[in-house]
Amino acid sequence: MLPRIHRLKKKNDFERVYKKGKGFKQDFLFLKFTTNDSNVSRIGIVVSKKIASKATERNLIKRRIRGAIKEMLSAISPGQDIIISALNGVNKTIDFQTIKKTIGELLLKSGIIKKK
């Protein structure tokens, strides 16, 4: 679970990111981000019913994405609101390492984290 301070929860925040944010796509994930007024980055994860009809499958995908983000949280530059959406092609059989690699590539491509 992400620490409470790093969660994007309010509908207004999601709408602001969707309207003003920049988007990047990689394999089965879509990342959209914009800056916020604080020095903390917040992350929201979206898996729609079109991707997985069962709530248990959606929750499994979200848990894997959340776990990958949690491992990279210290590398993410502060002051970002980020939404990660699952696209067609993601399913419950995709393993954690694949998700982690894809999220890392997305964060590098968007410039949210710097290459070491």
Model pLDDT for residues 23-65, shown as the tens digit of each residue: 999 999 999 999 999 999 999 999 999 999 999 999 999 999 9
Pairing of strands 42-46, 80-86: parallel
Statement: residue 1 has pLDDT above 90: no
What domains sit in the chain, N to C, each tagged with a CATH number? Answer: 4-108 (3.30.230.10)
Model pLDDT for residues 82-102, shown as the tens digit of each residue: 999 999 988 888 999 999 999
Structure confidence at residue 105 (pLDDT): 95
- Predicted structure pTM score: 0.93
Residue 21, phi then psi, degrees to nearest 5:
-80, 165
Average confidence score pLDDT of the chain? 94
